[in-house]
Amino acid sequence: MSNSSIRDTFFEECEELLEALVEGLAAMEENASDMEVVNAVFRAVHSIKGGAGAFALDRLVNFAHTFETVMDKVRSKQLDVDEQLMMLFHRSGDQLADLVEAARDGREPNAESEAAILKELGAYLDDAENEEELAFDAAPLAFDAAPMAIDLPEAEAEPPGEPEQRRFDIRFRPSPALYANGHEPLLLFDALAELGTLSVIADLSRLPEFDSFDPEDAVIDWRLTLQTSEDETVLHEVFEFVDALCELEIEVSEEPAESLPADLPEPADPIAAAPPPPDPAVPAALTTEPQGPAQKPAKQSPPRDEPRGPRPTLRVDLDRVDRLINTVGELIINQAMISQRIEELELPAVAHLTNELEAYKLLARDIQEGVMAIRAQPVKPLFQRMSRIVREAAEATGKKVKLVTVGDSTEVDKTVIERLADPLTHMVRNAVDHGLERPDKRSELGKDPAGSIRLSASHRSGSVFIEIADDGAGLNRTRILEKAIEKGLVSPEAELSEQEIDNLLFLPGFSTASEVSNLSGRGVGMDVVKNAVAALGGRVSIASTPGMGTTFTIVLPLTLAVMDGFVISIADQTMVIPIASIIETIRPNPRDLHCIGTDGEVISVRGAYVPIVDVARNLGLSGEGADSSGVLLLVSTEGQGLTALRVGAIHDQRQVVIKSLESNYGAIAGVSAATILGDGKIALILDPDELVKLTPAALFLPPAPPPKPELRHA
Amino acid sequence: MSTKVLAIDDSRTIRNLLRVSLEGAGFEYHSACDGVEGVEQFSEVEPDVVITDINMPNMDGFGVIENLRSGPNRTTVPIIVLTTESGPDLKARAREAGATGWIVKPFDDASLVSVLRRLTGHVV
């Protein structure tokens, strides 16, 4: 394992620790006196500090240290957690995350907020503790050059040249505890011997009679003579660990070094070499100590580094996974082709072949789902990031907000999670800024002064649902409509349904806040959110009740690589339309069709009139009207609500592999991607929302919205 | 036979660093990620020396030392405390519990190996 990969794992571990930190702080909010929780928080910060020290990330160490010191005071009950301190902990956690990120990317962290938080944390510490911080600050160089790691000298460091040799007489009387603590005098002597010439004499005068011998007592004293050029402090350092476990006298002898007797007894003397063995396991005859169940018969110790941990994981290059996904896509196409070929053969009695083929299809789907699962990740980290956004937004607006997350173990494709971060951030900020009322207003209304934002994720019928719900005032539809008219986005005469008014929010450049607040008003509108979600093959919808709050729902496909579609024909061309977008298929009865004006046509569906959109016409295909006797697909679109798409015929329902059109050809209005069908032909995949927008004279839509802004997340 | 080290630390980073340093110096490396597992591993691995962190979940470093010194294992193998704190209190407490020595994080390879060598007689 190389140094850089250890560094990588350090930052990976930091992610986990920061996650645990956020979780722990949230739990502290519930119950700050739960010592388990406080300890877990402390440990997370402490571990980050420990690792950071190893990579000389001094700023991170310093900050973590201060954070940890304050947390330690809570842990030792010297400090009570109030709301203010809790907030400071949250912010410290955020700052710590910033510092980790900065360290990982090798950039400068935000010094201003760091200093501010350090100062606030410092206010909870007394002078001595703060001074300790200063000492920490003052010594950062020591980390790089010579880590202050160990209080021991380099034993083998022989001084250059021939400095003056001196003779030390050492009397060393170990206590029983010295042996009990695992020390071995001979090893100490070895260390001394490395400093110069050592002679050792064992003083056996305290050795008792055999029948009164206590194997755990220390009865041998030692007289040592060391001839060395080293300083006396170096000698003391050798004894550092046994300090307080022995009696030790070190004297510099005045006698010249030459007079050292050369014939001192060798320490290899059997008695001298074997100090009383305190290990009860060895002299079984001499001890009454019962043998514990410690010794297991078999020594099974396979080398394992991560025996437990949360769950074993495997780190895989993302490219490899994507390659696999691609190949599986090809496999599915291949399976479709084989099915089609067999059909074409028109073999007699192919029942079992069809069965096998069906099994093959299921297997291919299993494999595909398995591969997708590799890319799937829980939304938890994403949701956790939102807690910070909520906190910051609440602070900036002076509102009180409680964030509730539901279903954060829901798994979503990695790319989706990554690209969802910005839109979600924006929506959460919006919810705090525009959605929730001020605390005093809420109190007036009889609501809890603290607003609540509920972030939830779930899997439903092959899609991922992500909801951002606030319990605020709800959308002010009158104002939204006024604003839209004012901005010329909608004509003053237009009669819009509530849903249509809500959807005005998604028009480019729309902003309801009468003054651009410093929070949400960053030039990013809901249109960008919508486009980002659309780029992921998803859609956003709004539900709002005045006085009760607003809920934004993002619906995303489970995967970006494969989808279930209807194979349809449009003016004799084969195309695919996502099944997820289709509510109902209708074989129209001419009785239910009604013309409106010259172009318009509606169908009455259970009493309601639904506009019909001719797909062939909207795509500009020749043979307009070719599908007039075809099938209608009822879809719900963003701009227009319920719409019926007229297509020629439905041929098949199948899983298709999505191939990007934009990266292979270019964007086509009304078309989201392409796929390869079983016969090897390419078919376009339609995007109902965009398709409907192409209607020349929209029946309900406000004047054509300005051109689509560039996708931020594409 | 090479000297067996059992390192007990809840930080993967630290375990990785220890592994690299110690395997590089010819030790046989074993590890555990908390105190309880450390004590379990001790009976299994029968190490020649133990390195333990102090602040860990389930059982902390003091617990490990006390358990190894006076529990059923009742061992006298050297136990080295690996800690970020270097205060005299901690040293005294560790010694009281039965620790043999200590290493202050961040540690460098040479000093780490030197301490181990000193306490175990391991020859590099």
Beta bridge partners of A541: A553
**Nearest CA distance, A38 vs chain B (angstrom):** 12
Tens of pLDDT, residues A562-580: 778 899 998 888 999 988 7
Q: Are strands A196-203 and A246-253 parallel, antiparallel or unpaired?
A: unpaired
Whether the CB of A138 is below 8 Å from some CB of chain B: the reply is no
Which chain A residues are within 8 Å of B115, Cβ to Cβ?
150, 152
The pLDDT of residue A307: 44
Q: Contact at 8 Å (CB) between A96 and A67?
A: yes
Q: Which of A126-135, A349-358, B101-110 has the lowest mean pLDDT?
A: A126-135
Residue A699 to residue A496: CA distance in whole angstroms: 12
Q: Would you tell me the crossing angle of helices A380-397 and A83-105 to the nearest 10 degrees?
A: 120
H helix runs in A491-627, sequence order: 498-503, 526-535, 615-618
Q: What number is the average pLDDT over the span A591-605?
A: 82
Contact (Cβ atoms closer than 8 angstroms) between residue A393 and residue A429 = yes
Worst-scoring range by mean pLDDT, A12-16, A371-375, B3-7?
A371-375
Mean pLDDT over all residues of chain A? 77
> Which residues does chain B have within 8 Å of residue A49's beta carbon, measured at their own beta carbons?
84
Asked if pLDDT for residue A140 goes beyond 50, the answer is no
Nearest to B61 by CA among B15, B113, B97: B97
Angle (deg, nearest 10), helices A58-75 and A127-138: 160
pLDDT at A199: 86
pLDDT of residue A310: 55
Task: Tell me the two tokens of residue A675.
Answer: 């796929």
Closest CA to A86 of A33, A39, A28: A28
- Percent pLDDT > 70 in chain B is 95
Predicted pLDDT of residue A560? 67
47-86 in chain A: CB under 8 A from chain B: 47, 49-51, 53-54, 56
CA distance B112 to chain A (A): 8
Is A531:A709 a contact under the CB 8 Å cutoff?
yes
User: What per-residue confidence (pLDDT) applies to A698?
Assistant: 44
Contact A417, A377 (CB under 8 A): yes
**Rounded mean pLDDT of A166-174?**
86
- Identity of residue A666: G
Q: What percent of chain A has pLDDT over 90?
A: 8
Least confident range from A528-532, A692-696, B79-83: namely: A692-696
Every domain of chain B and the residues it spans: 4-120
Convert the pLDDT of each residue in A629-642 to its tens digit: 788 898 877 666 78
Place of tokens 């701009």: A639
pLDDT at A240: 80
Q: Quick check: A710 pLDDT over 70?
A: no
The dihedral region occupied by A288, where left means phi > 0, alpha psi between -120 and 50, and beta the remainder, is alpha
Tokens of B103: 């290493």
Tokens (6 digits) for A616: 């062939």
* Residue A620 contacts residue A695 (beta carbons within 8 Å): no
Backbone angles phi, psi at A297, to 5 degrees: -60, -45
The predicted structure's pLDDT at residue A470: 93
Q: Are B94 and B81 in contact (CB under 8 A)?
A: yes
Mean pLDDT lowest among A453-457, B6-10, B16-20 = B16-20
Output the pLDDT for position A303: 44
- How far apart (Å, rounded) are the C-alpha atoms in residues A51 and B12? 9
A245, B71, B10, A308 alpha-carbon torsion, rounded to 10° = 150
Q: Which of A11, A38, A305 to mutate to test the interface with B (most CBs of B within 10 A)?
A: A305
pLDDT digits (tens, 9 = 90+) for A381-410: 899 889 888 988 888 888 889 999 998 888
User: What distance in Å separates the CA atoms of residue A275 and residue B110, rounded to the nearest whole number?
Assistant: 29
According to the model, what pLDDT value does residue A297 have? Answer: 41
In this complex, the residue of B20, B30, B86 whose CB is nearest that of residue A303 is B30
Mutate to test the interface with B, among A62, A194, A301, A308 (most CBs of B within 10 A): A301
- Token look-up 């009468």 returns A514
Read off the pLDDT of residues A537-553 as tens digits, 9 standing for 90 and up: 788 888 899 989 999 99
Higher per-residue pLDDT: A349 or A286: A349
B73-83, pLDDT tens digit by residue?
A: 788 889 999 87
CA atoms of A125 and A636, how far apart (whole Å): 60
How does residue A462 score in pLDDT terms, banded at 50, 70 and 90?
low
Which CATH code is given to the segment(s) B4-120? 3.40.50.2300
Structure confidence at residue A461 as a pLDDT band (50, 70, 90): low
In chain A, which residue's Cα lies nearest the Cα of B55?
A43
Give B-chain residues touching A13 at CB under 8 angstroms: 11-13
Q: How confident is the model at residue A289 (pLDDT cuts 50, 70, 90)?
A: very low
Helix (H, G, I), strand (E, B) or coil at A502: helix
In chain A, residues with a C-beta closer than 8 Å to the C-beta of B72 are 292-294
pLDDT surpassing 60 at residue A519: no
Mean pLDDT of A427-449: 90
Res A278 pLDDT > 70: no
Task: Determine what percent of chain A is predicted with pLDDT higher than 70.
Answer: 79
- Phi, psi angle pair for A404, to nearest 5°: -115, 130
pLDDT surpassing 80 at residue A160 = no
Q: Where on the phi/psi map is residue A647: left (φ > 0), alpha (ψ -120 to 50), or beta? A: beta
Q: Is the ipTM of this complex over 0.85?
A: no
- CA gap A22, A16 in Å, rounded: 10
Paired tokens of A244: 């307080």
The answer, yes or no, to whether residue A346 has pLDDT greater than 50, is yes
Chain B residues in contact with A3 by the CB 8 A cut-off are 20
The closest CB to that of B106, out of A147, A152, A295, belongs to: A147
